[in-house]
Amino acid sequence: MIKTESHTAPKDFISYLMTNGGLPKSEAEELSFPLKRMHYKKGSILLKRGDVCKHSFFVEKGLLRSYMLDEEGKEHVIQFAPENWFIVDRSSVYFNDPSESYIEAIEDTEVVFIGEDFMCHAATVSSIFGRYNDKLLHNHIRQMQKRINLLLGATAEKRYLSFIEMYPDLLLRVPQWMIASYLGITPESLSRVRKELAHKNFKPS
């Protein structure tokens, strides 16, 4: 793992707290001051299977992904996290269980480490942030349920269109085989879907 620690203020996370959490700049800066900020080179592993996840990771710059390995060693992508997204193994961080997944940097990435104590404290400082954080959690659950439903019953085309809706800016940043893994299809099937949509004059935004 190649990583370096940054001692500069997490400006993007401060802006995130102000915009989404309703915190005044002074409070957002005070809350964020003690947070650790790290720079990871492309290919670095932030979390590996068997470790206990201690933090949520907020992406200030770059791109992360989480994935699992099946019994045959095949990767299955769970989530992508571009700028201003959180990524975490929730069962590990909340229940102190060994992680069953990995978190990897797809690009050189700057990450802010967010502990559960930070979220609780921020919620006491700002009731607006508390409500937003609660909504964020429920939205994550909703999106995971939607993804399960897609994997169980949707066509490859519908899964791909849902991916574009979820991650509109990642088509040129993520290797096609990772997108196929996220969709639960083969790279060949993904190529076929893209060609069929091209024939329909589909242009992703």
pLDDT interval class at 130 (50, 70, 90): confident
| Residue spans per domain, the chain | 3-139, 154-205
Q: What is the pLDDT of residue 131?
A: 86
* Digit-coded pLDDT (tens) for 82-119: 999 999 998 999 899 999 999 999 999 999 999 878 88
Strands of 3-6's sheet in order across: 3-6, 37-40, 109-114, 56-61, 86-87
User: Cβ-count burial of 5 within 10 angstroms (0-12 exposed, 13-18 middle, 19+ buried)?
Assistant: exposed
Q: What is the mean pLDDT of the chain?
A: 89
Average pLDDT (67-88) is 95
Could you tell me the two tokens for 107?
């690009």
- Architecture of domain 3-139 in CATH? Sandwich (2.60)
Q: Cα–Cα distance between 130 and 128 in angstroms, integer?
A: 5
pTM (predicted TM-score): 0.88
Contact predicate 58/15, CB 8 Å? no
